């Protein structure tokens, strides 16, 4: 009996293990959890995170898509990943239209002549060389502009004055940024010759926030710029006096030829299932005004440094880990789309993914987007993050801007949500510089990413990637 | 007997009163102290302070000495003082050399090409139109530059990297600002072609702080500019890598013709001793980069609003009160010197004086510069200020920059010392705008000034003005 049943017992045990691993309650081994905790503590003691972002901002600086800084950043990224000892480093092409900033000045002509601080929105057309001079017509927000009569801005410069709300999760951005994206075409529909918006930001610094705008097809393209917050206040204060306010604005921006940049990828090659991989990443490009420390040098530093810690383990994790430095996120998630296109036939190999692109504030919450069976494992992962002050949120993670195209193809993603209370003080301004990064907060981020990347690479189950979750 | 002695008793009483008033222990009457407390409480409830600085920054804005903004400010000042109902409003001429900012750009050429944010220092000479391109040589501070060998900066651009310390009383300014004032000539003595200093400021914003510099006679004049703090960090980080750093800077500033502006003066004419007067004031000019809200629109608002409260009393105070809006403080206390010159023969009429020129932070301390016999009265005055959180400091008051020339002639002054913790975050930058003013703190300032001005005008004694104290 004993002998007879013994093989059956083994079979049963094996089946159970397989079941657990594949479908029911996959979990991390005690050993892996211990290694993850050790990696976390190493990250808190100090890793390459700050050094990497210092290197990028100092040696490259501004790296707007299609500029010499973009090319320098790609070169830097390849060299940095090789220097860090990744098993494989390569680039993949990303092609897009380009735009260049030129002169950008504005001034109140009447009734109270004063200069104004503005910056052109990305892909704005230029004014004539002499500039555009017209009366200002003020709207409370984009909605008010849209609802205005057809000729409400005839021959005028529209000024949209609404303010972005400050919030830890950045939730003020969405409602405010619509004015930046589509304000120009909506203003043109009402007969406007140009548009000035209050900067999409939460600061009161005399710096305007740039960012993308888009022209609606078939609608006249009018020049579009953002005013710094104090300048928007100034215009409001002048307008409140009931007098006609005339502004002159000159924008010399222009669109250029198509340009091919590159996603830069470094791989830690897995020891058991090398074709399956976890993505951690950030975008390599920045806007042109700052040195792109918060947006998104911090993400580059965090994710590359997390991987570097895993490279320091005595053996490679089971699955591969790819650090992707995405090209041209700022002008339309172009690098993320290119990656999803290039890898559309092997997307099932992506076990899960997370992008760091919300500055350098501490992570306070982690959201997942996994199949229900993987949730207990997620809870185990969160336990290792708990000493970092990170709590579990929900199973509706977005994953980060450059992962939107891959998420659309059904991959699992995680959102390691950073405290963004101050992020929009600096976002897309000259003020996005290295000094805004708190090295301690950066270390906390790296600690969370190394837990996420290592455990995901070791996971015996799967998170539902390739199952086309929506 | 009765009849005989009656007149004597009156005489004795009168003598005693005179004694107290002139030499021994002059004090304020209970009635005056009560009125001062009522004025204080009115100021806290709300006066014209914020409205005045809002008007100046909105309707005039930047008003650098010798610019159209200067002329507009003088016109504004006269109109505003008349509108407020002063008994007399007049101007006194102030003549000075002028300087105009032009283009100001800089960039690292090698090894890591990046733009730098700079601003020319006041009265810097220009570079050639093509700019000045040279290697950077870094010094820890002005002292290190002065002690360097004669050829230490031969053919180079000097970079002075020391940082200003943050302090409530602004005590970090003095040690740091020496590099701005005399750095150019010291650098030229070591063979430099140009100089860049870390901005004299406490912020980390990507804005450079302007301010006056002076060339030493007989020393070659080289172009001088300030770098924003993040740009100074960037240069330091590049230099730390041990490579030669080459920078190109272009400055288009130029000196202009002499210009005559005006001190603008509003007087509340005293009811008993109209020829004697108390000065409260601020400077009307600003630098060109911001709208001069903190420096010194706030002082204009505080002092004019304090006087306006006194104008609202049922009767004029015993002595006169003059609100002086000084011309061109920024480029050498020119308005203050002109006032002292113009009034050198009747300086003994000035009972005491205080200038508000340190932003809009709350007053935390009051210092006096009075004869010892007046100190008990000062203590009485401070009692009325106590509910405002103001304590007495010492009897070594400076009085404010525009009062230095008058103080040199022996007048009594008071320093109502503001909390300047954040003042040098914005000082002399584009960021000096209305939004940086906390209306509540402004009201506290006005409350203190109204106590000071009213009680000083009512004082039966004197503070020692005209006694040529040093």
* pLDDT, position A26: 77
Residues B104, B267, B329, B330: which is the catalytic one?
A: B329
Q: Do B434 and A237 touch (CB under 8 A)?
A: yes
Find the range with the poorest average confidence among A26-35, B270-279, B461-470.
B461-470
Q: Is the predicted pLDDT of residue A53 greater than 80, yes or no? A: yes
| Strands of the sheet with A319-326, listed across from one edge | A88-100, A254-268, A319-326, A273-283, A350-355
CB-nearest to B54 from A58, A117, A237 is A237
Q: What does DSSP assign to residue B347?
A: G
* pLDDT, position B465: 73
The SS3 assignment for A35 reads helix
Give chain B's mean pLDDT.
94
CB-nearest to A435 from B61, B233, B435 is B233
* pLDDT, position A466: 57
Interface residue B235 vs chain A (CB under 8 A)? no
For residue B420, give both structure tokens. Answer: 């300047």
Please say whether the beta carbons of A363 and A354 come within 8 A.
Answer: no
Query: Rounded to a whole number, what is the distance in Å from the CA of B58 to chain A's nearest CA?
Result: 6
Q: What is the CA radius of gyration of chain A?
A: 25
Which residues does B451 contact at the CB level (< 8 Å), separation at least 6? B36, B37, B39, B40, B381, B384, B385
Q: Which long-range contacts (CB under 8 A, 24 or more apart) does B31-39 make?
A: B32/B454, B32/B455, B32/B458, B33/B380, B33/B383, B33/B384, B33/B455, B35/B313, B35/B454, B36/B381, B36/B384, B36/B450, B36/B451, B36/B454, B36/B455, B37/B384, B37/B451, B39/B309, B39/B310, B39/B313, B39/B447, B39/B450, B39/B451, B39/B454
Q: Is the predicted pLDDT of residue B469 greater than 90, yes or no? A: no
Positions of E strands within A297-385: 319-326, 350-355, 363-369
Q: Return residues 13-42 of A near B (CB < 8 Å).
A: none
Model confidence band, residue B7 (pLDDT cutoffs 50, 70, 90):
very low
The catalytic residues of A are 329
Tens of pLDDT, residue by residue over B24-82, are: 577 899 999 999 999 999 999 999 999 999 999 999 999 999 999 999 999 999 999 99
Which residue matches tokens 């304020």?
A: B28
Q: Do A112 and B204 touch (CB under 8 A)?
A: no
Domains and CATH numbers, chain B: 24-99+257-458 (3.40.630.10), 102-252 (3.50.30.30)
For residue B22, give both structure tokens. Answer: 């002139």
* pLDDT, position B133: 98
Give chain A's mean pLDDT.
94
Query: Rounded to a whole number, what is the distance in Å from the CA of B53 to chain A's nearest CA?
Result: 12
Q: Which helix (H) or strand (E) holds A72?
A: helix A68-84
Chain A interface test: which of B53, B55, B58 (most A C-beta within 10 Å): B58
Enumerate helices (H) and strands (E) in chain B, giving the number of each. 13, 16
* Distance between CA atoms of residues B180 and B330, nearest Å: 14
CB-nearest to A62 from B68, B114, B233 is B114
Model confidence band, residue A465 (pLDDT cutoffs 50, 70, 90):
confident
Chain B interface test: which of A433, A434, A438 (most B C-beta within 10 Å): A433
ipTM comes to 0.92
Tens of pLDDT, residue by residue over B286-327, are: 999 999 999 999 999 999 999 999 999 999 999 999 999 999
Q: What does DSSP assign to residue B300?
A: H
Rounded to 5°, the CA angle A297-A299-A305 comes to 100
Q: Do B234 and A54 touch (CB under 8 A)?
A: no
Q: Return residues 266-325 of A near B (CB < 8 Å).
A: 290-291
* pLDDT, position A24: 53
Tens of pLDDT, residue by residue over A329-368, are: 999 999 999 999 999 999 999 999 999 999 999 999 999 9
Model confidence band, residue A25 (pLDDT cutoffs 50, 70, 90):
confident
CB-nearest to A112 from B58, B114, B234 is B58
More confident residue, A135 or B23: A135
Chain B CB contacts of A50 under 8 Å are: none
Q: Is the predicted pLDDT of residue A22 greater than 90, yes or no? A: no
Helices marked H in A241-333: 298-311
Tens of pLDDT, residue by residue over A385-414, are: 999 999 999 999 999 999 999 999 999 999
* Distance between CA atoms of residues B339 and B344, nearest Å: 8
Q: Do A204 and B435 touch (CB under 8 A)?
A: yes
Percent of chain B with pLDDT over 70: 94
Chains A–B, number of C-beta pairs less than 8 Å apart: 89
Tens of pLDDT, residue by residue over A428-452, are: 999 999 999 999 999 999 999 999 9
* Distance between CA atoms of residues A367 and A394, nearest Å: 5
Tens of pLDDT, residue by residue over A157-173, are: 999 999 999 999 999 99
What is the average per-residue pLDDT within B5-26?
Answer: 45
């Amino acid at each position: 009996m004993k002998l007879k049943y013994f093989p059956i017992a083994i079979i049963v045990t094996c089946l159970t293990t397989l079941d657990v691993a594949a479908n029911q309650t996959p979990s991390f081994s005690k050993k892996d959890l211990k290694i993850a905790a050790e990696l976390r503590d190493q990250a808190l003691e100090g890793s390459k995170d700050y050094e990497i972002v210092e290197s990028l901002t100092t040696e490259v600086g501004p790296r707007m898509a299609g500029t010499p800084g973009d090319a320098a950043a790609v070169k830097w990224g390849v060299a940095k990943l090789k220097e860090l000892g990744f098993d494989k480093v390569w680039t993949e092409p990303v092609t897009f239209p380009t735009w260049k900033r030129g002169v950008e000045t504005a001034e109140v002509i009447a009734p109270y002549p004063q200069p104004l601080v503005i910056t052109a929105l990305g892909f704005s057309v230029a004014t004539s060389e002499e500039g555009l001079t017209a009366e200002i017509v003020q709207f409370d927000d984009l909605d008010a502009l849209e609802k205005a009569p057809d000729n409400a801005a005839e021959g005028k410069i529209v000024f949209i004055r609404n303010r972005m709300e400050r919030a830890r999760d950045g939730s003020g951005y969405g409602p405010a940024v619509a004015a930046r994206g589509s304000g120009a075409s909506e203003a043109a529909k009402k007969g406007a010759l140009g548009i000035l918006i209050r900067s999409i930001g939460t600061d009161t610094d005399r710096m305007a926030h740039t960012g993308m705008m888009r022209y609606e097809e078939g609608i006249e393209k009018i020049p579009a710029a953002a005013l710094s917050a104090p300048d928007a206040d100034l215009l409001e204060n002048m307008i409140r006096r009931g007098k006609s306010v005339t502004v002159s604005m000159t924008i010399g921006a222009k669109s250029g030829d198509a340009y091919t940049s590159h996603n830069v990828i470094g791989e830690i090659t897995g020891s058991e299932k090398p074709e399956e991989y976890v993505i951690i990443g950030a975008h390599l490009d920045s806007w042109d005004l700052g040195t792109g420390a918060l947006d998104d040098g911090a993400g580059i530093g965090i994710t590359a440094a997390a991987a570097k810690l895993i490279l320091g383990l005595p053996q490679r994790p089971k699955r591969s880990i790819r650090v992707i430095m995405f090209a041209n996120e700022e002008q339309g998630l172009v690098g993320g789309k290119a990656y999803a296109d290039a890898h559309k036939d092997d997307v099932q190999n992506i076990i899960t993914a997370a992008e760091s692109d919300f500055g350098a504030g501490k992570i306070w919450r982690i959201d997942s987007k996994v199949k229900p069976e993987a949730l207990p494992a997620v809870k185990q992962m969160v336990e290792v993050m708990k000493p970092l002050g990170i709590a579990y949120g929900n199973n509706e993670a977005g994953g980060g801007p450059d992962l939107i195209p891959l998420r659309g193809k059904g991959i699992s993603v995680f959102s390691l949500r950073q405290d963004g209370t101050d992020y929009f003080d600096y976002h897309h301004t000259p003020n996005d510089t290295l000094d805004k990064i708190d090295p301690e907060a950066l270390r906390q981020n790296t600690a969370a990413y190394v837990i996420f990347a290592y455990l995901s690479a070791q996971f015996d189950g799967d998170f539902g990637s390739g199952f086309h979750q929506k």
